[in-house]
A and B are shown apart, each in its own frame.
Chain A
């Protein structure tokens, strides 16, 4: 037969992309054994050197550094630290340096720059309000983003498949789409009964527009022969849309979903700072108003963790949905 350039079926695309895409980074064993001791040293300095002022939780912070140091040593011992070692080392050095500079010698202007233990104190004492803010932000974001994305995909497919819908919807998309959703903030706060609902609508709009445009472009670009193949086997419109157009457009749809997620993050912060009376944006606004800078930093950290986690989840979803593609970006 014609097995001229056969590739074994067992060679999974993910495995091949992992080996060809980037070479594994393997730091020397020396670095791995250094990471833990650096944290232990930082713990010792925090504990023994006297604070310049009456800071809270110095003991707890020292204990945290100590615990992390022990964990790193244990990870090194079982050989699990590997390429993470340099990062762990630098992080320990950084925290130690910050502790010495600010808590022990007060080298930076006070209210704006806190000490590590100030930040730790926020998490230890205000975790309930931070968690509650995170939950509200997540709820607002997820409801707005998911509904906007679903509507965006439906709109995009309809635009790609129907002349009538293109005729009526395209001008509206062209008028409203490029407008930054933030500009609609005052209007939506007037129209909608609650600021929360207004925030959700804006978030849906922010996510929906890029998703709709990219889905549309993806569906328009589907090879017409794909439809012919299915039609000749008796496929109806339903199959052509759901099982041919949609999967064929998936790579493009994900580009839209990523853009939409970024736009939603921006919209979330603005909505919470300007109207919605809950969430991390609101917390940050409040903290800044009371000059509670450590609280602001803490909220910033939580928000950044939330955003990166959601982004990672979207990447995982994409990798799952597009496992048939040859290779893709690793997050």
Chain B
């Protein structure tokens, strides 16, 4: 259950030769093209690429919400065949259930599995600092608070891997900064592997231990960058600035594959 003192063993991931396409009226549209990636347990990986390039599809495949056309996905060596509470996905929209209060939105995962654990729910609410709002309805929350509820709803499942599909994409810039810190601290304390899609290069370099740069659709991996300088990281850090410029250049051209940094 969720307590900051009790980390879960993080999940490792092996993706090999993943390809995927969607049926469109105009024919099959390929979104992933031969993507292979190894994720060590406990890594924080940022996936960056032009919008619509297939990063979100990659997350859905890892979550088990869809199955790839070809290629294999292994979580800790076991094949991913469907969704599992150890791999929780979080979307750009909070997607809270409007008919449930904050409290019962957070306890969703427990309800689904028929578990009762009021202490865990209370702990999750405390973790995101929403004690006063536990009886509020989702429509009474601001965007940042709603996303924090979504975060607590994910964490109550003690996920071994958190799949973040641009979770901060729609927040205003101040809320966004606060949420980045929150997310980073939770990753540090809860011990899950994180896979985050983002369009914000700076955000990726601040939070992630590894940044994967994708080409335009169908997504191929252009670069795999280890961000290994120590914390705390600062936006003004010259290393961050130069790496940021480098990645942006990659995204603009999007053609020449770069060797692993």
Contacts and interface: CB of A to CB of B under 8 A. Distances in A.
Please indicate which of the listed interface residues B132, B136, B138 has the most CB atoms of chain A within 10 Å of its own CB.
B136
Interface stretch (A95-103, A228-236, A282-290, A303-311): A228-236
Interface string B4-44: 00000000000000000000000000000000000000000
A15 to B, nearest CB: 12
Contacts of B136: 7, 9
B83 interface: yes
Interface string B117-160: 00000000000010011111111111011001000010001000
Nearest to A231: B83
A200 B109 CA distance: 42
Nearest to B178: A2
A232 B83 contact: yes
Contacts of A233: 83, 85, 88, 108-109, 112-113, 157
Contacts of A248: 97, 99
Contacts of B97: 226, 244, 247-248
B144 A2 contact: yes
Contact of A4 (B88, B93, B142, B182): B142
B179 interface: yes
Please indicate which of the listed interface residues A9, A229, A234 has the most CB atoms of chain B within 10 Å of its own CB.
A229
Given A4-B144, A243-B111, A324-B137, 10 more contacts: A1-B148, A2-B174, A5-B142, A6-B142, A9-B135, A13-B139, A226-B97, A231-B83, A232-B88, A324-B139
Q: Give the 8 A-B residue pairs with the shortest CB-CB distance, closest first.
A: A2-B144, A2-B175, A233-B109, A9-B136, A247-B99, A225-B95, A5-B142, A235-B112
B8 to A, nearest CB: 15
B108 A234 contact: no
Interface of A: 1-9, 11, 13, 223, 225-226, 228-235, 239, 243-244, 247-248, 250, 324-326
By size class, the interface of chain B is 35 or more
8 contacts: A2-B175, A3-B142, A4-B172, A11-B140, A232-B87, A233-B109, A239-B112, A324-B98
Contacts of A9: 102, 132-136, 140
Per DSSP, are chain A's interface residues mostly helix, strand or loop, or mixed? loop
Nearest to B128: A1
Nearest to A250: B99
Please indicate which of the listed interface residues A1, A225, A248 has the most CB atoms of chain B within 10 Å of its own CB.
A1
A269 to B, nearest CB: 36
B255 interface: no
Interface of B: 63-65, 83-85, 87-89, 91, 93, 95, 97-102, 108-109, 111-113, 129, 132-142, 144-145, 148, 153, 157, 171-172, 174-175, 178-179, 182
Given A226-B95, A234-B113, A250-B99, A326 B144 contact: no
A170 B102 CA distance: 38
B89 A4 contact: no
B145 A232 contact: no
Nearest to B138: A324
A4 B145 CA distance: 9
Given A6-B145, A225-B91, A1 B178 contact: yes
Given A2-B145, A225-B91, A7 B85 contact: no
Contacts of A1: 129, 144, 148, 178, 182
Nearest to A321: B99
Given A6-B142, A11-B140, A232 B174 contact: no
B89 A3 contact: no
A51 B224 CA distance: 102
Contacts of A232: 63-65, 83-85, 87-89
A231 B95 contact: no
Contact of B65 (A6, A226, A228): A228
Contacts of A324: 98-101, 137-139
Nearest to A9: B136
Contacts of A243: 111
A200 to B, nearest CB: 32
A234 B63 CA distance: 11
